Structure 1
Amino acid sequence: MHRYTETTRRYALHARLLWRAAPGHSVLNLFLVLASAGTVTFGIVATGHLVGALPAAVRAGAGSPAAGRVWWWLAAAAAAYALAPLINAGQNVVAQVVSARYLRLVFGMVADVGTAPYGIGHLEDPELAGRLDAVKRAMRDWTFVSGVEWTWGLLATRVTGLGSLILVATWNWWAALLAAGSYVLLAKVFVAWIGTIFDDLLEVTGNQRRQASYVRDLMTGAPAAKELRLFGMADWLVHRYTTAWRDAMTVVWRNRYHNLRPILGACAVMLVVNAGVFALLARDASAGTVSLASLVTLVQALLALEAFGPLGDGQSALARNTSATTMLVGLRTRLGLPDVPPHSPGAPGGNEPEPLQSTRSAAAAIDLREVTFHYPTRDEPTVERLSLHVPAGQSVAIVGINGAGKSTLIKLLCGLYPPDAGTIRIDDGDPSADEATRNRVAVIFQDFVRYHLPLRDNVGFGAHTRHDDEAVLARALEDAGGTSLLDRVEHGWDTVLSAEYAEGTDLSGGQWQRVALARALAAVAGGAGVLVLDEPTAALDVRAEAALFDRFLEVTRGMTTLLVSHRLSSVRHADRIVVIGPTDDPTRTGTGIVEDGSHEELMAAGGAYARMFSLQAARFAAAGADETAGADETAGPDETAVERR
């Protein structure tokens, strides 16, 4: 019973989505469905009367009133059978419009799950991320789209079954209900069986299928092709894929075969009931209580009661669709989003934010007070009771050992995670709750995104309110030291930065660094008052990183800037250096502020910063000496002299 109630709830959700996506076209298609069912039912009646009138017409001869009735019923049947395909064609045309708007609606709902909650914790939850991935994969399958398009054909078939049920009921009401009920029973069992299979595919096997899909993509994609061949991984990956897929599908196969028993039982009931009903009809016909016209009509109507039973691929596709949308709505509800958006998505455009009049935003102040945060997968806090004040316009470097919580601190500052305790304010605004405050922070992370989009977008995303202002973009790229890049790409700002696209191009690691830095600098024109570099230059050598940070400090002078790096020599020119890590406070288990001051002050203090700086300096000095020695051994006498000079 629970399964059947769940099926009804899913169909109700499907109807809500159709109505929300295209109410006018849905009403039109509903009208066409009723017209189609009425036409088919009338065709059954006309055919029965046509056959029933033939014997009398043959006896009376041409030109008789009996012959006239034959011609009338023949014309009626022909009109019904000619009209039905035309109605179905119109229904299919309207269904395409509904389907397109429905898909736009549900794809927008998926996008909401990924982007509407500003934080990123839900995307890092393996269970929730697995379900979201399963929904996305299901929606890429052809059966999901077919399920939308089949809705109207399935509904027309069901309504046609109602017409046939009424025709049979004029002969014997309880026989009609028994026959239709046997098909309904089979349909319900079949839908429950299909729904279980699709639910298993989405829920039970989500993680295993993701693993199998990942291994498959490794074998068939370009990124891993070199190492796959170099290390001879092909056979191992084939075995891993086979094992992962078999493990994922074991539950599906077991439930599929186990739940076949109710279907076989329902089939047996349907066969017995229909055999009895046809036998009863044959008895009445032989007794003369059913005329020839009625007999032909009733036989067609009884066969048409199959409309209440399983409807093959169309019903399977609809079950696939409703299973995916039900899980999608569950994810939205879990994240506090409305189950269905209050409005259908409109055309692109709308009211765009007004561009800023100035090309430089006011610097923002930062205040963190007693901030504590821990990741859901960890028992101990990563950051604990951390307080920090950064005046507007100051450049601050955040340093510490790996794992000290530097990147976590930046994510908290961006509002990507809300703190467990304490407050975070940027000019008195809360970045975890206020979008305007979040827009005041621009960050380039270590793993910044290399968008396969035009150069204009890769830079302009920072200044989202002035995305198309080439003067702003050019200034940002120039400040980032990437002016020469614009001259090298063939189509200027419109060049797609990916070699996977026609007329696109890829960039070197250093060039991508410049583009990412330009994106952060462009954010100033978009309203940002705090600029953060969270180790985006980790792939560069220490000299290149130091040069880039120095340039960043130069072009952002007067702005509030945070520099995060594990290379202390790169950030020593910041106004202030904050060292975070484990503190001496025995009541704390998470990160706190260990030292705070300028480079000169911290070196003079001889504490943790001075020790780390001296250790790194010694290592880089040793590396430099090895480089010089290598150059002495490989260069000739004159070359060595020139190099030393």
Structure 2
Amino acid sequence: MAPLALAIRDRSTRWLQMLRLLPHAGRGLALGALALNVTLGLLPSAFIVSTSLLLSRVPALAAEPTGLSWDGIAVVFAVALGAFTLQQLLTPFQSAVTEVIARRVDEVCIGRLLDAALDDAPIALLENPEALDLLADARAAFERQAYTPGDAVGAIPALVSRYCQLTAAVVLVGVVLSPLAGLILMITALVIRMGVRGTLGRFAAVSESLAGHRRRAGYIGGLATGATAAKEIRVFGLLGWLRERLRSDTMANLRPMWAGSRRLQFWPFVGFSAVGFVGGAVAITMLAVAAGRGQVDLFELAVALQGILIPMRFGVYFPECDVQTQFGLHSFHALERFEQQAGAARTVGARATTMPVRPSREIRFDNVSFRYSADGPTILDGLDLTLPVGRSTAIVGLNGAGKTTLVKLLARLYEPTSGRITVDGAELARFDPDEWRRQLAMTFQDYVRYELTVAENIGLGAPRLLADDEAITAAAERAGALDALRGAPDPLRTPLSSRYPGGTDLSGGQWQRIALARALLAVQGGASVLVLDEPTAQLDVRAEVEFHDRFLATAKGITSVLISHRFSTVRHADQIVVIEHGRVVERGSHDELIRHDGRYAELFELQARRFRMDAAEPTAVG
């Protein structure tokens, strides 16, 4: 396809996309905005005609002050004043209506972004660099770091106003001077206009190619100005490094943009300025010749002079709509491409779905293998594992054995590379993922620390129980999550961040208890399988033993899975499974595995010896 045809197709596609988004603002609002802006586009011509008529009557009034009807002048003056006043009154509503349209359209697009990122996209896609670049560009607009799709759509009525103003001015010049003069002005304005927008479009392509640079610069900027790394920045003296890194990453984005701007806009600007000069000069020359020949009167001369200026201004940059309509869809295009990738990735892994049943006998991993990428290492390698319903299973092993990956497969955040997972004999892959996850209460190693109240942090484990203080308190007590907040006026309403009034910061171990309470509340909310991945990693040994003893004593009848690399704290589990190199190497109760004197017994003794040595070391006095 020829470059010109390709450019026309791309531009037409963009405008069609904006027009398809416009109804999301509401049909009544969209029609009202168009009517308002058409009116604003026509009022300048009404003002030109009425003021020109006034000027044309001044000589006659000076020559014969008593012979001219003042009533007629008063009417013309009233029309001119009315057009001017109405324009001043309506102009503020133009920006207000534009803002409302933008917000309504953005609301729809944000909803689509949330659905795509948090529902449609598999977790593996959220770890793909190309997809993350798209997601960053889509999100940047809604974080007000760039123009939004709503900004683009909201600018359409303002652009309509500009074209109405141009059309009315060209018609006036064509009527009072000549159709040829009007045509010349129209062509001149459109040539400059299309050229300016085409240049802006080519520059937008340069901007889109730099998504990765923008994401890296945004990350470093957030790191430098946020609280997450503030302590380490001070302790390690990282401020100088951060300044230089932020500058280099920012310039890696800006330098190509500046170079592209100079290459794409300098000489075209010179050329289009020349076109505007020639077109305007021709029209003014035609007007001068007609005036010299007496072919136009004072009224027509005044109308033509003012009318010629409007098309000349039309060929320049419009601050209220040009950048918005050109760059506002950048995030929308990123959103659409991300939606396509999410849909394709989900389709590849999708099979016929059925509503999951509450497990009644067992959950089984049958010869399951898994790797995170086609060329990545094998994490699980032919793993066979049975999780009896209503019993506690502890899965232990050294770091990197595949324990956390097993949990991700159980939650269907990933699908096995080979093998299958079954629930009471039914293949898990045939269950609806969202419905199956409602059967699970999980605490991951990298649980989220929400800067919300205690009640909200715990209540998010079962959203329907968010308002049930009794249930939240019960879950918190089981996890020991309220011990650190006993002195607070209202522990459940305490924000878990000192950056909010009345808020407090928790230690790592205290946060872990909050996360545990969240999972326990999910069980109260109907989940039938409780999975805790390293639930006590940030507790000391004594607190960890206390937790496991209390948890296993109160979790009778619950299907529970405890993931741990500490062998000594899971000894009371009904079943202990040892994983190494992605396979189950041993299984049984604690006593059975100790008697077997295999890998579990060896690692248990090594860890127990380490704890005995730590306890025997003398405490320094200082």
Most deviating of 395-404 and 11-20: 11-20
Q: Does 1:381 align with 2:372?
A: no
The residue aligned with 2:354 is none
Most deviating of 414-423 and 272-281: 414-423
Query: 1:220-239 residue pairs with structure 2 within 5 A?
Result: 220-239=225-244
**Structure 1: gaps (5+ residues):** 338-360, 583-590, 636-645
**Residues 506/455 of structure 1: CA separation in 2 closer, same or farther (3 Å cut):** same
The residue aligned with 1:391 is 388
**Residues 499/416 of structure 1: CA separation in 2 closer, same or farther (3 Å cut):** same
| 8 Å contact from structure 1 (residues 39, 80) kept in 2 | yes
Q: Does 1:21 align with 2:25?
A: yes
Q: Does 1:533 align with 2:536?
A: no
The residue aligned with 1:294 is 300
Q: Deviations over 1:56-107 (max 9, x none)?
A: 3443433534x54433322211111111222223333433332332232232
Query: 1:508-523 residue pairs with structure 2 within 5 A?
Result: 508-523=507-522
Q: Deviations over 1:119-151 (max 9, x none)?
A: 322221122112222332233337626656544
Find the partner of 2:13 among 9, 24, 29: 9
Alpha-carbon distance in structure 1 between the residues aligned to 2:16 and 2:308: 29
The residue aligned with 2:58 is 54
- The share of aligned pairs that are identical, in percent, is 34
**Residues 207/287 of structure 1: CA separation in 2 closer, same or farther (3 Å cut):** same
Find the partner of 1:607 among 581, 598, 612: 598
**Paired AA for residue 190 in structure 1:** V
The residue aligned with 2:130 is 127
**Residues 196/570 of structure 1: CA separation in 2 closer, same or farther (3 Å cut):** farther
The residue aligned with 1:407 is 404
Q: Does 1:263 align with 2:269?
A: yes
Q: Does 1:113 align with 2:116?
A: yes
Query: 1:191-210 residue pairs with structure 2 within 5 A?
Result: 191-201=197-207, 203-210=208-215
Alpha-carbon distance in structure 2 between the residues aligned to 1:269 and 1:299: 19
**Residues 374/186 of structure 1: CA separation in 2 closer, same or farther (3 Å cut):** farther
Query: 1:212-611 residue pairs with structure 2 within 5 A?
Result: 212-260=217-265, 261-306=267-312, 308-314=314-320, 315-336=322-343, 365-376=362-373, 378-426=375-423, 428=426, 430=429, 433-485=432-484, 487-582=486-581, 591-611=582-602
Q: Deviations over 1:377-421 (max 9, x none)?
A: 743432244333322112111222222221111111112123333
**Paired AA for residue 136 in structure 2:** D
| 8 Å contact from structure 1 (residues 417, 432) kept in 2 | no
TM-fit CA distance, 1:20: 1.1
Most deviating of 444-453 and 5-14: 5-14
Cα RMSD (Å): 2.7
Report the secondary structure of 1:488's partner residue: coil
Query: 1:58-69 residue pairs with structure 2 within 5 A?
Result: 58-62=62-66, 64-65=68-69, 67-69=70-72
Query: 1:74-113 residue pairs with structure 2 within 5 A?
Result: 74-113=77-116
**Residues 191/488 of structure 1: CA separation in 2 closer, same or farther (3 Å cut):** farther
**Residues 273/306 of structure 1: CA separation in 2 closer, same or farther (3 Å cut):** closer
TM-score (norm 1): 0.86
Report the secondary structure of 1:376's partner residue: coil
TM-fit CA distance, 1:478: 1.5
Find the partner of 2:616 among 606, 625, 643: 625
Query: 1:115-194 residue pairs with structure 2 within 5 A?
Result: 115-117=118-120, 119-141=122-144, 144=147, 150-170=155-175, 171-194=177-200
TM-fit CA distance, 1:451: 0.7
Report the secondary structure of 2:142's partner residue: helix
Report the secondary structure of 1:624's partner residue: helix
**Residues 594/264 of structure 1: CA separation in 2 closer, same or farther (3 Å cut):** farther
Report the secondary structure of 2:537's partner residue: coil
Alpha-carbon distance in structure 1 between the residues aligned to 2:193 and 2:85: 30
Alpha-carbon distance in structure 1 between the residues aligned to 2:389 and 2:113: 39
| 8 Å contact from structure 1 (residues 415, 432) kept in 2 | no
Report the secondary structure of 1:563's partner residue: strand
| 8 Å contact from structure 2 (residues 60, 68) kept in 1 | no
**Structure 2: gaps (5+ residues):** 345-357
TM-fit CA distance, 1:560: 0.5
The residue aligned with 2:347 is none
Alpha-carbon distance in structure 2 between the residues aligned to 1:596 and 1:80: 88
**Residues 252/572 of structure 1: CA separation in 2 closer, same or farther (3 Å cut):** same
The residue aligned with 2:350 is none
Q: Deviations over 1:174-211 (max 9, x none)?
A: 4333322333233333333334444544x333333333
